Structure 1
Amino acid sequence: MSKLDVHTAHLSRTGGRKRNEDSCGYWTSDAGCCWVVSDGAGGHGGGDVASRLVVKTVLERFAANPVVSSEVAVSLLETAHAELMKAKEHQPAGTDMHATCVLLLIDREQGQAVWGHAGDSRAYLFRNGQLAYQTRDHSLVQSMIDAGYGSTDLIRTHPQRSLLTSAIGNAGELVISVSGDPVPTDAGDVFMLCSDGWWEYVDEANMQRILAEASSADAWLESMAAIVERDAGTDNDNYTAVGVVVNSAESATTVILGPRSEQAEPPEESTS
Protein backbone atom coordinates (compact mmCIF):
# COMPACT_ATOMS: atom_id res chain seq x y z
CA MET A 1 0.00 0.00 0.00
CA SER A 2 1.37 3.44 -0.95
CA LYS A 3 1.57 6.18 1.64
CA LEU A 4 -1.40 8.54 1.63
CA ASP A 5 -1.03 12.23 0.91
CA VAL A 6 -3.21 14.69 2.81
CA HIS A 7 -4.15 18.25 1.91
CA THR A 8 -5.44 20.62 4.60
CA ALA A 9 -7.61 23.72 4.27
CA HIS A 10 -8.78 25.77 7.24
CA LEU A 11 -10.92 28.81 7.89
CA SER A 12 -11.80 30.54 11.18
CA ARG A 13 -13.71 33.82 11.44
CA THR A 14 -15.04 35.98 14.24
CA GLY A 15 -18.55 36.42 12.83
CA GLY A 16 -20.58 38.97 14.78
CA ARG A 17 -18.70 38.56 18.06
CA LYS A 18 -16.03 40.81 19.59
CA ARG A 19 -13.40 38.05 19.70
CA ASN A 20 -12.84 34.69 18.10
CA GLU A 21 -13.11 31.99 20.76
CA ASP A 22 -12.64 29.19 18.20
CA SER A 23 -9.20 27.70 17.64
CA CYS A 24 -7.90 25.12 15.19
CA GLY A 25 -4.61 23.58 14.19
CA TYR A 26 -2.88 20.55 12.78
CA TRP A 27 0.38 18.62 12.93
CA THR A 28 1.49 16.27 10.17
CA SER A 29 4.37 13.87 9.63
CA ASP A 30 5.26 11.07 7.22
CA ALA A 31 3.34 8.71 9.51
CA GLY A 32 0.79 10.04 12.00
CA CYS A 33 -1.17 13.29 11.50
CA CYS A 34 -3.54 15.21 13.78
CA TRP A 35 -6.14 17.93 13.15
CA VAL A 36 -8.18 19.61 15.89
CA VAL A 37 -10.95 22.22 16.27
CA SER A 38 -12.02 23.69 19.61
CA ASP A 39 -14.79 26.15 20.50
CA GLY A 40 -14.20 27.91 23.82
CA ALA A 41 -16.49 29.65 26.30
CA GLY A 42 -16.21 31.27 29.72
CA GLY A 43 -16.42 34.61 31.46
CA HIS A 44 -13.76 37.34 31.37
CA GLY A 45 -12.70 36.38 27.85
CA GLY A 46 -11.77 32.87 28.94
CA GLY A 47 -13.15 31.17 25.86
CA ASP A 48 -10.29 32.01 23.53
CA VAL A 49 -7.78 31.03 26.22
CA ALA A 50 -9.58 27.71 26.70
CA SER A 51 -9.74 26.78 23.02
CA ARG A 52 -6.12 27.72 22.36
CA LEU A 53 -4.97 25.64 25.33
CA VAL A 54 -6.98 22.64 24.14
CA VAL A 55 -5.57 22.81 20.61
CA LYS A 56 -2.01 23.37 21.87
CA THR A 57 -2.23 20.44 24.30
CA VAL A 58 -3.67 18.01 21.76
CA LEU A 59 -1.09 18.83 19.09
CA GLU A 60 1.91 18.80 21.42
CA ARG A 61 0.92 15.50 23.01
CA PHE A 62 0.24 13.85 19.66
CA ALA A 63 3.51 15.12 18.18
CA ALA A 64 5.36 13.51 21.09
CA ASN A 65 3.78 10.13 20.28
CA PRO A 66 2.12 10.15 16.83
CA VAL A 67 0.20 6.89 17.13
CA VAL A 68 -3.26 6.57 15.59
CA SER A 69 -5.70 4.63 17.77
CA SER A 70 -8.94 5.19 19.65
CA GLU A 71 -7.02 4.92 22.91
CA VAL A 72 -4.74 7.76 21.84
CA ALA A 73 -7.74 9.88 20.82
CA VAL A 74 -9.32 9.40 24.25
CA SER A 75 -6.01 10.14 25.98
CA LEU A 76 -5.54 13.37 24.02
CA LEU A 77 -8.98 14.63 24.99
CA GLU A 78 -8.55 13.59 28.62
CA THR A 79 -5.16 15.32 28.79
CA ALA A 80 -6.62 18.50 27.33
CA HIS A 81 -9.35 18.33 29.97
CA ALA A 82 -6.80 17.94 32.77
CA GLU A 83 -4.70 20.85 31.49
CA LEU A 84 -7.73 23.12 31.23
CA MET A 85 -8.91 22.22 34.71
CA LYS A 86 -5.46 23.18 36.05
CA ALA A 87 -5.47 26.44 34.10
CA LYS A 88 -8.86 27.41 35.58
CA GLU A 89 -7.29 27.53 39.05
CA HIS A 90 -5.34 30.64 38.03
CA GLN A 91 -8.19 32.53 36.36
CA PRO A 92 -10.20 35.43 37.84
CA ALA A 93 -13.27 34.64 39.91
CA GLY A 94 -16.27 34.06 37.68
CA THR A 95 -14.28 32.58 34.84
CA ASP A 96 -15.70 29.21 33.83
CA MET A 97 -13.42 28.26 30.97
CA HIS A 98 -14.53 25.25 28.99
CA ALA A 99 -14.41 24.16 25.38
CA THR A 100 -15.67 21.65 22.88
CA CYS A 101 -13.09 19.66 20.97
CA VAL A 102 -13.10 17.44 17.90
CA LEU A 103 -9.97 15.78 16.54
CA LEU A 104 -8.98 13.62 13.58
CA LEU A 105 -5.97 11.30 13.47
CA ILE A 106 -4.70 9.71 10.24
CA ASP A 107 -1.93 7.13 9.82
CA ARG A 108 -0.59 7.84 6.34
CA GLU A 109 1.42 4.62 6.17
CA GLN A 110 -1.37 2.28 7.26
CA GLY A 111 -4.17 4.24 5.56
CA GLN A 112 -6.29 4.47 8.70
CA ALA A 113 -8.22 7.20 10.51
CA VAL A 114 -9.63 7.73 14.00
CA TRP A 115 -11.68 10.65 15.30
CA GLY A 116 -13.08 11.70 18.65
CA HIS A 117 -14.92 14.59 20.27
CA ALA A 118 -16.43 16.14 23.38
CA GLY A 119 -19.26 18.66 22.97
CA ASP A 120 -20.94 19.81 19.78
CA SER A 121 -18.01 20.49 17.47
CA ARG A 122 -18.31 17.88 14.74
CA ALA A 123 -16.39 15.58 12.44
CA TYR A 124 -17.77 14.63 9.02
CA LEU A 125 -16.56 12.00 6.55
CA PHE A 126 -17.51 12.24 2.86
CA ARG A 127 -16.85 9.05 0.91
CA ASN A 128 -17.41 8.54 -2.78
CA GLY A 129 -18.80 12.07 -2.85
CA GLN A 130 -21.50 11.22 -0.30
CA LEU A 131 -21.85 11.98 3.40
CA ALA A 132 -20.87 8.71 5.07
CA TYR A 133 -20.58 9.71 8.71
CA GLN A 134 -21.01 12.53 11.19
CA THR A 135 -20.43 12.67 14.92
CA ARG A 136 -23.30 12.89 17.41
CA ASP A 137 -23.38 16.02 19.57
CA HIS A 138 -23.06 15.93 23.34
CA SER A 139 -25.90 18.40 23.85
CA LEU A 140 -29.24 18.69 25.60
CA VAL A 141 -31.11 18.85 22.31
CA GLN A 142 -29.38 15.75 20.94
CA SER A 143 -30.34 13.92 24.14
CA MET A 144 -33.95 15.02 23.63
CA ILE A 145 -33.91 13.77 20.06
CA ASP A 146 -32.37 10.46 21.10
CA ALA A 147 -35.12 10.05 23.72
CA GLY A 148 -37.81 10.59 21.11
CA TYR A 149 -38.87 14.09 22.14
CA GLY A 150 -38.49 15.67 18.72
CA SER A 151 -37.09 15.33 15.23
CA THR A 152 -33.56 16.07 14.07
CA ASP A 153 -34.80 19.49 12.89
CA LEU A 154 -34.54 20.64 16.52
CA ILE A 155 -30.76 20.46 16.39
CA ARG A 156 -30.58 23.78 14.52
CA THR A 157 -33.71 25.52 15.82
CA HIS A 158 -34.27 24.75 19.50
CA PRO A 159 -33.68 27.77 21.79
CA GLN A 160 -31.49 25.61 24.08
CA ARG A 161 -29.45 24.05 21.30
CA SER A 162 -26.19 25.44 22.71
CA LEU A 163 -26.50 23.67 26.09
CA LEU A 164 -23.85 20.94 26.30
CA THR A 165 -23.87 17.66 28.20
CA SER A 166 -20.08 17.28 27.95
CA ALA A 167 -17.20 19.71 27.44
CA ILE A 168 -13.48 19.93 28.05
CA GLY A 169 -12.93 21.81 31.32
CA ASN A 170 -16.38 21.26 32.83
CA ALA A 171 -16.43 20.12 36.45
CA GLY A 172 -18.98 17.39 35.75
CA GLU A 173 -18.45 14.05 34.06
CA LEU A 174 -16.45 14.22 30.84
CA VAL A 175 -18.09 12.19 28.08
CA ILE A 176 -15.86 11.38 25.10
CA SER A 177 -16.99 9.68 21.89
CA VAL A 178 -14.55 8.04 19.48
CA SER A 179 -14.86 6.22 16.18
CA GLY A 180 -13.59 2.93 17.62
CA ASP A 181 -11.14 0.76 15.68
CA PRO A 182 -9.09 2.62 13.05
CA VAL A 183 -11.15 3.15 9.90
CA PRO A 184 -9.56 2.20 6.55
CA THR A 185 -9.28 5.30 4.37
CA ASP A 186 -7.99 5.91 0.88
CA ALA A 187 -7.72 8.45 -1.91
CA GLY A 188 -10.93 10.41 -2.35
CA ASP A 189 -12.01 10.50 1.28
CA VAL A 190 -12.75 14.00 2.56
CA PHE A 191 -13.01 14.93 6.24
CA MET A 192 -14.28 18.11 7.83
CA LEU A 193 -14.01 19.25 11.45
CA CYS A 194 -16.10 22.28 12.43
CA SER A 195 -17.56 24.26 15.31
CA ASP A 196 -21.30 24.69 15.87
CA GLY A 197 -21.16 28.22 14.45
CA TRP A 198 -20.41 26.53 11.13
CA TRP A 199 -22.75 23.54 10.95
CA GLU A 200 -25.72 25.47 12.41
CA TYR A 201 -26.02 27.38 9.12
CA VAL A 202 -24.58 24.89 6.63
CA ASP A 203 -26.67 21.73 6.61
CA GLU A 204 -25.36 18.38 5.44
CA ALA A 205 -27.10 18.56 2.07
CA ASN A 206 -25.31 21.82 1.29
CA MET A 207 -21.99 20.45 2.52
CA GLN A 208 -22.30 17.56 0.08
CA ARG A 209 -23.62 19.65 -2.81
CA ILE A 210 -20.85 22.23 -2.53
CA LEU A 211 -18.23 19.50 -2.22
CA ALA A 212 -19.34 18.08 -5.58
CA GLU A 213 -18.94 21.52 -7.19
CA ALA A 214 -15.69 22.60 -5.49
CA SER A 215 -12.38 22.75 -7.33
CA SER A 216 -10.33 22.53 -4.13
CA ALA A 217 -10.68 22.08 -0.38
CA ASP A 218 -10.13 25.82 0.10
CA ALA A 219 -12.90 26.63 -2.37
CA TRP A 220 -15.20 24.17 -0.59
CA LEU A 221 -14.71 25.94 2.75
CA GLU A 222 -15.06 29.42 1.26
CA SER A 223 -18.35 28.52 -0.42
CA MET A 224 -19.76 27.13 2.81
CA ALA A 225 -18.54 30.18 4.74
CA ALA A 226 -20.48 32.35 2.29
CA ILE A 227 -23.68 30.60 3.42
CA VAL A 228 -22.88 31.37 7.06
CA GLU A 229 -22.22 35.02 6.21
CA ARG A 230 -25.46 35.24 4.23
CA ASP A 231 -27.79 33.51 6.69
CA ALA A 232 -26.38 33.97 10.20
CA GLY A 233 -27.28 37.60 10.86
CA THR A 234 -25.23 40.29 12.56
CA ASP A 235 -24.69 38.65 15.96
CA ASN A 236 -23.65 35.21 14.80
CA ASP A 237 -21.14 33.04 16.59
CA ASN A 238 -17.54 32.47 15.52
CA TYR A 239 -17.33 29.81 12.82
CA THR A 240 -14.44 27.50 12.05
CA ALA A 241 -13.80 24.52 9.79
CA VAL A 242 -10.85 22.37 8.80
CA GLY A 243 -11.04 20.30 5.62
CA VAL A 244 -8.76 17.30 5.03
CA VAL A 245 -8.59 15.71 1.59
CA VAL A 246 -6.94 12.31 1.28
CA ASN A 247 -5.00 11.50 -1.89
CA SER A 248 -2.65 8.74 -2.89
CA ALA A 249 1.04 9.61 -2.87
CA GLU A 250 1.08 9.48 -6.67
CA SER A 251 -1.50 12.30 -6.81
CA ALA A 252 0.16 14.43 -4.14
CA THR A 253 0.17 17.51 -6.36
CA THR A 254 -3.57 17.25 -7.07
CA VAL A 255 -6.39 17.89 -4.62
CA ILE A 256 -9.04 15.30 -5.47
CA LEU A 257 -12.58 16.10 -4.33
CA GLY A 258 -14.45 13.68 -6.58
CA PRO A 259 -15.65 10.14 -5.85
CA ARG A 260 -13.40 7.11 -5.49
CA SER A 261 -14.04 3.56 -6.60
CA GLU A 262 -14.07 1.62 -3.32
CA GLN A 263 -16.36 2.16 -0.36
CA ALA A 264 -16.22 0.86 3.19
CA GLU A 265 -18.89 1.08 5.84
CA PRO A 266 -18.31 3.88 8.36
CA PRO A 267 -17.99 2.85 12.01
CA GLU A 268 -20.41 3.03 14.87
CA GLU A 269 -19.26 5.68 17.35
CA SER A 270 -18.38 4.49 20.85
CA THR A 271 -18.61 6.59 24.00
CA SER A 272 -16.46 6.50 27.10
Structure 2
Amino acid sequence: MIELQTSYITETGRRQRNEDACGYWSSEQGSCWVVSDGAGGHGSGDKASKLVVSAVLGKFSAAPVVNEDMVISLLEAAHTAVMDEKRANPQGDDMHATVAIVLIDPQTQSAVWGHVGDSRVYLFRQRVLAHQTRDHSLVQGMIDAGYGDSEMIRTHPQRSLLTSAIGNSGELALSVSGSPVVIQEGDAFLMCTDGWWEYVDEKTMEGLLQNAETAEEWLQLMAVKVKESENDKSDNYTAMGIQAGDLEPVTTVILVK
Protein backbone atom coordinates (compact mmCIF):
# COMPACT_ATOMS: atom_id res chain seq x y z
CA MET A 1 0.00 0.00 0.00
CA ILE A 2 1.44 3.33 -1.06
CA GLU A 3 1.78 6.09 1.54
CA LEU A 4 -0.08 9.31 0.72
CA GLN A 5 0.84 12.68 2.20
CA THR A 6 -1.37 15.78 2.03
CA SER A 7 -0.53 19.48 2.27
CA TYR A 8 -2.72 22.50 1.66
CA ILE A 9 -2.72 26.30 1.65
CA THR A 10 -5.80 28.51 1.52
CA GLU A 11 -5.66 32.30 1.82
CA THR A 12 -8.03 35.24 1.48
CA GLY A 13 -5.71 37.28 -0.77
CA ARG A 14 -6.98 40.86 -1.00
CA ARG A 15 -10.67 39.96 -0.76
CA GLN A 16 -12.90 40.58 2.26
CA ARG A 17 -13.60 36.89 2.82
CA ASN A 18 -12.24 33.56 1.65
CA GLU A 19 -14.76 31.97 -0.71
CA ASP A 20 -12.47 28.99 -1.37
CA ALA A 21 -12.82 25.74 0.57
CA CYS A 22 -10.95 22.47 0.59
CA GLY A 23 -10.86 19.19 2.49
CA TYR A 24 -9.94 15.53 2.39
CA TRP A 25 -10.99 12.22 3.85
CA SER A 26 -8.78 9.13 3.99
CA SER A 27 -9.17 5.43 4.72
CA GLU A 28 -7.54 2.14 3.73
CA GLN A 29 -10.32 1.61 1.16
CA GLY A 30 -9.94 4.94 -0.58
CA SER A 31 -9.16 8.61 -0.14
CA CYS A 32 -10.80 11.78 -1.44
CA TRP A 33 -9.52 15.33 -1.87
CA VAL A 34 -11.69 18.25 -2.94
CA VAL A 35 -11.11 21.95 -3.72
CA SER A 36 -13.88 24.46 -4.45
CA ASP A 37 -14.03 28.15 -5.37
CA GLY A 38 -17.37 29.78 -4.58
CA ALA A 39 -18.94 32.90 -6.05
CA GLY A 40 -21.93 35.04 -5.07
CA GLY A 41 -22.71 38.17 -3.09
CA HIS A 42 -23.06 38.74 0.65
CA GLY A 43 -21.20 35.60 1.70
CA SER A 44 -23.06 33.13 -0.49
CA GLY A 45 -19.86 32.24 -2.33
CA ASP A 46 -18.21 30.86 0.78
CA LYS A 47 -21.44 29.04 1.61
CA ALA A 48 -21.45 27.44 -1.85
CA SER A 49 -17.87 26.19 -1.62
CA LYS A 50 -18.42 24.78 1.87
CA LEU A 51 -21.57 22.99 0.66
CA VAL A 52 -19.56 21.46 -2.18
CA VAL A 53 -16.78 20.17 0.08
CA SER A 54 -19.25 18.82 2.65
CA ALA A 55 -21.37 17.04 0.02
CA VAL A 56 -18.37 15.44 -1.68
CA LEU A 57 -16.65 14.21 1.47
CA GLY A 58 -19.92 13.08 3.06
CA LYS A 59 -20.93 10.98 0.06
CA PHE A 60 -17.48 9.47 -0.49
CA SER A 61 -16.91 8.58 3.16
CA ALA A 62 -20.20 6.63 3.17
CA ALA A 63 -18.96 4.43 0.29
CA PRO A 64 -15.26 4.93 -0.48
CA VAL A 65 -15.10 3.49 -4.00
CA VAL A 66 -12.50 4.77 -6.44
CA ASN A 67 -13.74 4.76 -10.03
CA GLU A 68 -15.07 7.05 -12.74
CA ASP A 69 -18.70 6.53 -11.76
CA MET A 70 -17.96 7.67 -8.22
CA VAL A 71 -16.35 10.88 -9.47
CA ILE A 72 -19.44 11.64 -11.55
CA SER A 73 -21.68 10.86 -8.59
CA LEU A 74 -19.68 13.17 -6.31
CA LEU A 75 -19.80 16.04 -8.80
CA GLU A 76 -23.55 15.58 -9.17
CA ALA A 77 -23.97 15.45 -5.37
CA ALA A 78 -22.14 18.76 -5.05
CA HIS A 79 -24.39 20.31 -7.68
CA THR A 80 -27.52 18.98 -5.95
CA ALA A 81 -26.41 20.35 -2.58
CA VAL A 82 -25.97 23.87 -3.94
CA MET A 83 -29.17 23.77 -6.00
CA ASP A 84 -31.16 22.54 -2.98
CA GLU A 85 -29.85 25.45 -0.94
CA LYS A 86 -30.82 27.92 -3.67
CA ARG A 87 -34.33 26.46 -3.92
CA ALA A 88 -34.70 26.65 -0.14
CA ASN A 89 -33.73 30.34 -0.25
CA PRO A 90 -35.16 31.72 -3.52
CA GLN A 91 -34.55 35.31 -2.42
CA GLY A 92 -30.83 34.65 -1.93
CA ASP A 93 -27.94 35.35 -4.27
CA ASP A 94 -27.20 33.31 -7.36
CA MET A 95 -24.37 31.43 -5.72
CA HIS A 96 -22.29 28.90 -7.62
CA ALA A 97 -18.91 27.21 -7.34
CA THR A 98 -16.16 25.32 -9.10
CA VAL A 99 -14.93 21.93 -7.88
CA ALA A 100 -11.94 19.66 -8.41
CA ILE A 101 -11.81 16.12 -6.99
CA VAL A 102 -9.08 13.47 -6.75
CA LEU A 103 -9.77 9.91 -5.56
CA ILE A 104 -7.00 7.41 -4.82
CA ASP A 105 -7.20 3.73 -3.87
CA PRO A 106 -4.01 3.13 -1.84
CA GLN A 107 -4.36 -0.65 -2.18
CA THR A 108 -4.37 -0.76 -5.98
CA GLN A 109 -2.40 2.50 -6.28
CA SER A 110 -4.93 3.87 -8.73
CA ALA A 111 -6.36 7.37 -9.08
CA VAL A 112 -9.27 9.09 -10.81
CA TRP A 113 -10.21 12.74 -10.86
CA GLY A 114 -12.78 15.17 -12.18
CA HIS A 115 -13.78 18.81 -12.16
CA VAL A 116 -16.35 21.46 -13.01
CA GLY A 117 -15.29 25.03 -13.80
CA ASP A 118 -11.73 26.36 -13.67
CA SER A 119 -10.36 24.78 -10.51
CA ARG A 120 -7.67 22.40 -11.73
CA VAL A 121 -6.01 19.05 -11.18
CA TYR A 122 -2.38 18.53 -12.21
CA LEU A 123 -0.38 15.29 -12.10
CA PHE A 124 3.41 15.46 -12.02
CA ARG A 125 5.50 12.33 -12.63
CA GLN A 126 9.25 12.30 -12.07
CA ARG A 127 8.84 16.03 -11.34
CA VAL A 128 7.49 16.70 -14.86
CA LEU A 129 3.92 17.68 -15.75
CA ALA A 130 2.10 14.58 -17.01
CA HIS A 131 -1.52 15.80 -17.05
CA GLN A 132 -3.66 18.85 -16.39
CA THR A 133 -7.41 19.38 -16.61
CA ARG A 134 -8.98 21.75 -19.13
CA ASP A 135 -11.11 24.57 -17.78
CA HIS A 136 -14.81 24.94 -18.43
CA SER A 137 -14.44 28.60 -19.37
CA LEU A 138 -15.16 30.99 -22.20
CA VAL A 139 -11.47 31.60 -22.85
CA GLN A 140 -10.60 27.88 -22.89
CA GLY A 141 -13.37 27.41 -25.45
CA MET A 142 -11.89 30.20 -27.58
CA ILE A 143 -8.46 28.60 -27.41
CA ASP A 144 -9.85 25.16 -28.31
CA ALA A 145 -11.63 26.72 -31.30
CA GLY A 146 -8.40 28.25 -32.56
CA TYR A 147 -9.13 31.87 -31.63
CA GLY A 148 -6.04 32.35 -29.52
CA ASP A 149 -3.16 30.61 -27.79
CA SER A 150 -2.70 29.25 -24.29
CA GLU A 151 -1.31 32.58 -23.02
CA MET A 152 -4.84 34.01 -23.16
CA ILE A 153 -5.92 31.80 -20.28
CA ARG A 154 -4.13 34.09 -17.79
CA THR A 155 -4.49 37.48 -19.49
CA HIS A 156 -7.85 37.72 -21.27
CA PRO A 157 -10.24 40.22 -19.59
CA GLN A 158 -13.02 37.60 -19.65
CA ARG A 159 -10.90 34.76 -18.31
CA SER A 160 -13.15 34.28 -15.26
CA LEU A 161 -16.33 33.60 -17.25
CA LEU A 162 -17.28 29.94 -16.80
CA THR A 163 -19.22 27.75 -19.21
CA SER A 164 -20.11 25.27 -16.46
CA ALA A 165 -20.31 25.62 -12.69
CA ILE A 166 -21.80 23.89 -9.69
CA GLY A 167 -25.13 25.58 -8.90
CA ASN A 168 -25.81 26.98 -12.36
CA SER A 169 -29.21 26.28 -13.87
CA GLY A 170 -29.35 24.05 -16.93
CA GLU A 171 -27.34 20.99 -17.80
CA LEU A 172 -24.16 20.40 -15.81
CA ALA A 173 -21.04 19.89 -17.94
CA LEU A 174 -18.36 17.96 -16.08
CA SER A 175 -15.06 16.31 -16.92
CA VAL A 176 -13.57 13.09 -15.53
CA SER A 177 -10.24 11.40 -16.12
CA GLY A 178 -11.72 8.09 -17.27
CA SER A 179 -10.33 4.70 -16.25
CA PRO A 180 -8.21 4.69 -13.08
CA VAL A 181 -4.57 5.70 -13.59
CA VAL A 182 -1.92 3.66 -11.80
CA ILE A 183 0.15 6.04 -9.71
CA GLN A 184 3.83 5.58 -9.05
CA GLU A 185 6.16 6.30 -6.16
CA GLY A 186 7.05 9.96 -6.35
CA ASP A 187 3.92 11.11 -8.20
CA ALA A 188 2.59 14.47 -7.04
CA PHE A 189 -0.90 15.90 -7.57
CA LEU A 190 -1.66 19.62 -7.39
CA MET A 191 -5.26 20.79 -7.00
CA CYS A 192 -5.85 24.53 -7.06
CA THR A 193 -8.26 27.39 -7.68
CA ASP A 194 -7.73 30.06 -10.34
CA GLY A 195 -6.37 32.47 -7.74
CA TRP A 196 -3.38 30.13 -7.55
CA TRP A 197 -2.69 28.91 -11.09
CA GLU A 198 -3.20 32.36 -12.61
CA TYR A 199 0.07 33.45 -11.00
CA VAL A 200 2.04 30.19 -11.19
CA ASP A 201 2.35 28.85 -14.72
CA GLU A 202 3.10 25.21 -15.50
CA LYS A 203 6.80 25.74 -16.23
CA THR A 204 7.19 27.46 -12.87
CA MET A 205 5.34 24.60 -11.17
CA GLU A 206 7.81 22.14 -12.69
CA GLY A 207 10.81 24.27 -11.87
CA LEU A 208 9.86 24.70 -8.23
CA LEU A 209 9.10 21.00 -7.90
CA GLN A 210 12.68 20.31 -9.03
CA ASN A 211 13.86 22.21 -5.95
CA ALA A 212 11.44 20.66 -3.43
CA GLU A 213 11.95 17.59 -1.28
CA THR A 214 8.28 17.26 -0.31
CA ALA A 215 4.91 18.36 -1.65
CA GLU A 216 4.58 20.64 1.38
CA GLU A 217 7.80 22.45 0.49
CA TRP A 218 6.63 22.66 -3.13
CA LEU A 219 3.40 24.37 -2.09
CA GLN A 220 5.32 26.85 0.04
CA LEU A 221 7.61 27.73 -2.86
CA MET A 222 4.63 28.29 -5.16
CA ALA A 223 2.84 30.35 -2.50
CA VAL A 224 5.77 32.78 -2.51
CA LYS A 225 5.19 33.34 -6.24
CA VAL A 226 1.48 33.95 -5.66
CA LYS A 227 2.17 36.47 -2.90
CA GLU A 228 4.74 38.27 -5.05
CA SER A 229 2.05 38.77 -7.69
CA GLU A 230 -0.61 40.11 -5.31
CA ASN A 231 -2.37 43.34 -6.19
CA ASP A 232 -5.46 45.19 -4.98
CA LYS A 233 -7.72 42.83 -6.96
CA SER A 234 -6.03 39.56 -5.98
CA ASP A 235 -8.47 36.70 -5.50
CA ASN A 236 -8.62 34.05 -2.80
CA TYR A 237 -6.21 31.22 -3.53
CA THR A 238 -6.16 27.59 -2.47
CA ALA A 239 -3.92 24.64 -3.33
CA MET A 240 -3.67 21.05 -2.14
CA GLY A 241 -0.66 18.83 -2.75
CA ILE A 242 -0.88 15.04 -2.68
CA GLN A 243 2.41 13.16 -2.55
CA ALA A 244 2.57 9.43 -3.33
CA GLY A 245 5.43 8.03 -1.30
CA ASP A 246 8.71 9.93 -1.54
CA LEU A 247 9.37 12.36 -4.36
CA GLU A 248 11.95 11.18 -6.85
CA PRO A 249 15.37 12.30 -5.63
CA VAL A 250 16.83 15.36 -7.34
CA THR A 251 20.03 14.51 -9.18
CA THR A 252 22.62 17.24 -9.58
CA VAL A 253 25.23 16.71 -12.27
CA ILE A 254 28.44 18.71 -12.00
CA LEU A 255 30.54 18.87 -15.16
CA VAL A 256 34.26 19.15 -14.52
CA LYS A 257 36.21 20.77 -17.33
TM-score range, shorter chain: over 0.9
Offset of residue 259 of structure 1: 5.8
Tell me the residue number matched to 1:266: none
Q: Deviations over 1:43-93 (max 9, x none)?
A: 221000000000010001000000000110000000110111000123362
In 2, the alpha carbon distance for the partners of 1:161 and 1:232 equals 17
Look up the SS of the partner of 1:138 in the other structure: coil
CA-atom RMSD in angstroms: 1.2
Which one-letter code corresponds to 2:204 in the other structure? Answer: N
Tell me the residue number matched to 2:248: 258
Q: Deviations over 1:167-187 (max 9, x none)?
A: 010002211100000001121
Tell me the residue number matched to 1:23: 21
Offset of residue 31 of structure 1: 2.0
Tell me the residue number matched to 2:58: 60
Tell me the residue number matched to 1:99: 97
* Alignment partner of 1:243 is 2:233: no
TM (norm. structure 1) is 0.90
In 2, the alpha carbon distance for the partners of 1:243 and 1:82 equals 27
In 2, the alpha carbon distance for the partners of 1:193 and 1:117 equals 10
Look up the SS of the partner of 1:89 in the other structure: helix
Which one-letter code corresponds to 1:258 in the other structure? Answer: E
Which aligned pairs between 1:188-199 and structure 2 lie closer than 5 A?
188-199=186-197
Structure 1 residue runs of 5 or longer lacking an equivalent are 248-255, 261-272
Offset of residue 30 of structure 1: 1.1
Offset of residue 107 of structure 1: 0.3
Which aligned pairs between 1:22-41 and structure 2 lie closer than 5 A?
22-41=20-39
1:141–1:160 CA contact under 8 A, matched in 2: yes
TM (norm. structure 2) is 0.95
Distance 1:92-1:43 versus aligned 2 partners, 3 A rule: farther
In 2, the alpha carbon distance for the partners of 1:164 and 1:96 equals 14
Structure 2 residue runs of 5 or longer lacking an equivalent are 251-257
1:103–1:116 CA contact under 8 A, matched in 2: yes
The percentage of aligned residue pairs carrying the same residue is 58
1:212–1:257 CA contact under 8 A, matched in 2: no
Which one-letter code corresponds to 1:230 in the other structure? Answer: E
1:245–1:257 CA contact under 8 A, matched in 2: yes
Tell me the residue number matched to 2:253: none
Tell me the residue number matched to 1:207: 205
Q: Deviations over 1:211-242 (max 9, x none)?
A: 11012222111111111111131320000000
In 2, the alpha carbon distance for the partners of 1:214 and 1:91 equals 46
Q: Deviations over 1:178-201 (max 9, x none)?
A: 000000112111001000000000
In 2, the alpha carbon distance for the partners of 1:197 and 1:108 equals 30
Tell me the residue number matched to 2:114: 116
Tell me the residue number matched to 1:47: 45
Runs of 4 or more above 4 Å deviation: none
Which aligned pairs between 1:114-153 and structure 2 lie closer than 5 A?
114-153=112-151
Tell me the residue number matched to 1:218: 216
2:124–2:131 CA contact under 8 A, matched in 1: yes
Tell me the residue number matched to 1:185: 183
Would you say how many aligned residue pairs link Structure 1 and Structure 2? 250
In 2, the alpha carbon distance for the partners of 1:208 and 1:243 equals 13
Look up the SS of the partner of 1:126 in the other structure: strand
* Alignment partner of 1:6 is 2:10: no
The more displaced of 137-146 and 172-181 is 172-181
Look up the SS of the partner of 2:78 in the other structure: helix
Tell me the residue number matched to 2:254: none
